[in-house]
């Protein structure tokens, strides 16, 4: 009897405890309903470069990913979208990353409607409360070495970074940045008002300026003239006669590579070269024009590549035997070819010339990524007609210059 009474009392006690827990809202939950782990909470912060150079080398930047949650992730993922507007060709933008080691690897990009997009091929683990910085670099190469594309351009890129984890790919955070796009500037300064056919050569300066954060390779600065001209440049205290460059598309157009072919320019630098031009005795009297154009990644076809042209300079060719013209004095010092922090020529421009400008918003400017030429590069059109223009004889034999066909492209 005593044993049975004890069992009854125990049962009553257990029932009473259950009622008290239920009344307090603390029911006895089964083990399967225990709280599940919270997903990782990832944040992203990209320190994009302020600017890059059109057809220039890539510029470094970083993306920082932070896990602000309480759960580790084994696979943080980074995706990038780059919107440059409809004016860029599919080969315009490049993105590379460096997760471990020193090797730069490509982020594969797809292009649609002016936007490039791609995911970094490698993922990485990230513990709760930790962060990791990924090194990247972005450029607007406009093609490949010695195969530059001059068809289009932009003034800026909108870079969007998205971070996610796991296999779903749903972004947990995004970051937006704007990258300005500029280009090379080129100009002629000190061009005299007159020259005499068959007379002494006249002298001036040619300047190529790189106002951007990108370095440049495969740069060819070409003085566009006509078949009547001969051109020399001062190298190491000696005047060197240049061989003209011509194209079958426009036999009357002559170009002279005043800084040499495939030169390099560091970021925020300039190069100045002393030039002199003489005209044959049979040159028709009248006005003639000179124009400097820079071709980046020019290949085997002359005057073809990503192109930047300066304003034209005008001088009057006097008939043979006339008094006039300003001959070039004998050289007293080597040519200046040292990069400068200020991309401006050392001589003041004449009334018919203009110094290179770090920015340009017009089709007649000497620099700026907005001043792209309309139909050049890999599309197979006549590159001189579309890029460098054609010299023609006009009226009473004056040399004229057919205007460059440009397209201003805004993002």
Task: Show the tokens assigned to 1.
Answer: 């009897």
Average pLDDT for residues 226-235, to the nearest whole number? 94
Confidence (pLDDT) at 247: 84
Note whether residue 168 is domain-resident: yes
157 and 250 belong to one structural domain: no
Is 80 exceeded by the pLDDT of residue 357?
no
pLDDT band at 348 (very low <50, low <70, confident <90, very high): very low
Check whether residue 155 and residue 212 sit in a common domain.
no
pLDDT value of position 34: 54
Tell me the CB-side half-sphere exposure of residue 28, using CA atoms within 13 A: 6
Higher pLDDT pick, 312 / 394: 312
CA 71 – CA 113 distance, rounded (Å)? 38
CA distance 21 to 43: 41
Please indicate, yes or no, whether residues 163 and 224 belong to a single structural domain of this protein: no
Percentage of residues in the chain with pLDDT exceeding 90? 61
Q: Across the beta sheet with 229-235, what order do the strands follow? A: 185-189, 202-210, 269-279, 229-235, 238-241
CA distance 78 to 134: 10
> H or E stretch including 20?
helix 2-23
Query: Is pLDDT larger for residue 141 or for residue 390?
Result: 141
Count of domains observed in the chain:
2
User: For the segment 70-87, what is each residue's pLDDT rounded down to a tens digit?
Assistant: 999 999 999 999 999 988
Q: In the prediction, which pLDDT does 283 show?
A: 96
236 and 171 within one domain: no
pLDDT band, residue 248 (cuts 50/70/90)? confident
Residues of the domain holding 373: 185-408
pLDDT given for residue 35 in this prediction: 59
Local confidence band at 382 (pLDDT 50, 70, 90 cut-offs): very low
Taking only the tens place, the pLDDT of each residue in 251-307 is 778 999 999 889 999 999 999 999 999 999 999 999 999 999 999 999 998 999 999
285's tokens: 């009297």
Asked whether residue 108 falls in the same domain as residue 243, the answer is: no
| Domain assignment present for 106 | yes
Pick the closest to residue 50 from 270, 214, 269 (CA basis): 214
Closest C-alpha among 10, 2, 411 to residue 182: 411
pLDDT for 371 beyond 70:
no
- Judgement on whether residues 144 and 193 belong to the same structural domain of the protein: no
Give residue 339's pLDDT band: very low, low, confident or very high (50, 70, 90): very low
**Residues 396, 332 share a domain:** yes
User: Residues 94-113: pLDDT tens digits?
Assistant: 999 999 889 999 999 999 98
pLDDT of residue 326: 55
Contacts of 65 (CB under 8 A, 6+ apart): 42, 43, 44, 76, 78, 126, 131, 132, 133, 134, 163
As given in the structure block, the two tokens for residue 98 are 């460096």
373 and 234, same domain (yes or no):
yes
For residue 317 the two structure tokens come to 């060719």
Q: Which of the four pLDDT bands, split at 50, 70 and 90, describes residue 324?
A: low
The answer on 282 and 228 residing in a single domain is yes
pLDDT at position 250, please?
A: 73
CA distance linking residue 292 with residue 126, whole number of Å: 53
Per-residue pLDDT at 390: 32
CB of 319 closer than 8 Å to CB of 285: yes
Evaluate whether residue 22 is within a structural domain.
no
Inside any domain, residue 46: yes
243 and 95 together in one domain: no
What is the number of H-type helices and E-type strands within the chain?
A: 2, 31
pLDDT class for 356, splitting at 50, 70, 90? low
Q: State yes or no: pLDDT of 373 exceeds 90.
A: no
CATH of the domain at 113: 2.60.40.1510
Residue 253 forms part of a structural domain: yes
Cα dihedral across residues 335, 357, 246, 320: positive or negative: negative
Task: Indicate if the pLDDT at residue 54 is higher than 80.
Answer: yes
């Amino acid at each position: 009897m005593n044993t049975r009474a004890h069992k009854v009392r125990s049962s009553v006690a257990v029932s009473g405890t259950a009622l008290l827990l239920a009344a307090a809202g603390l029911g006895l939950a089964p083990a399967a309903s225990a709280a599940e782990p919270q997903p990782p909470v990832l944040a992203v912060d990209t320190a994009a470069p302020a600017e890059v150079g059109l057809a220039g080398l890539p510029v470094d930047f970083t993306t920082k990913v932070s896990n602000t949650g309480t759960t580790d992730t084994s696979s943080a993922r980074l995706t990038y979208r780059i919107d440059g507007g409809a004016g860029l060709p599919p080969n315009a933008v490049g993105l590379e990353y460096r997760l471990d080691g020193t090797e730069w690897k490509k982020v594969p990009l797809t292009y649609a409607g002016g936007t490039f997009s791609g995911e970094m091929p490698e993922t990485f683990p990230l513990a709760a409360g930790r962060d990791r910085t990924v090194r990247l670099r972005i450029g607007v190469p406009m093609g490949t070495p010695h195969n530059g594309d001059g068809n289009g351009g932009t003034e800026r890129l909108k870079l969007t970074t998205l971070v996610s984890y796991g296999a779903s790919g749903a972004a947990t955070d995004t970051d937006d940045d704007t990258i300005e796009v500029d280009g090379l500037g080129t100009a002629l300064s000190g061009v005299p008002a007159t020259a005499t056919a068959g007379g002494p050569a006249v002298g001036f300066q040619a300047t190529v300026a790189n106002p951007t954060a990108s370095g440049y390779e495969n740069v060819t600065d070409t003085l566009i003239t006509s078949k009547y001209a001969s051109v020399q440049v001062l190298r190491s205290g000696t005047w060197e006669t240049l061989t003209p460059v011509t194209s079958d598309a426009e036999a009357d157009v002559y170009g002279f590579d005043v800084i040499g072919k495939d030169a390099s320019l560091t970021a925020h630098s300039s190069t100045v070269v002393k030039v002199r031009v003489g005209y044959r005795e049979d040159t028709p009297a009248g006005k003639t024009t000179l124009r400097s154009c820079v071709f980046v990644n020019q290949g085997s076809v002359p005057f073809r590549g990503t192109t930047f042209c300066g304003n034209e300079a005008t001088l009057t060719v006097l008939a043979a035997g006339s008094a006039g013209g300003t001959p070039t004095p004998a050289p007293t010092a080597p040519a200046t070819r040292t990069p400068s922090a200020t991309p401006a020529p050392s001589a003041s421009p004449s009334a018919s010339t203009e110094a290179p400008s770090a920015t340009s918003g017009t089709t007649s400017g000497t620099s700026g990524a907005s001043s792209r030429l309309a139909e050049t590069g890999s599309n197979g059109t006549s590159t001189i007609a579309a890029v460098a223009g054609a010299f023609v004889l006009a009226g009473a034999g004056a040399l004229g210059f057919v205007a460059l066909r440009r397209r201003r492209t805004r993002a």
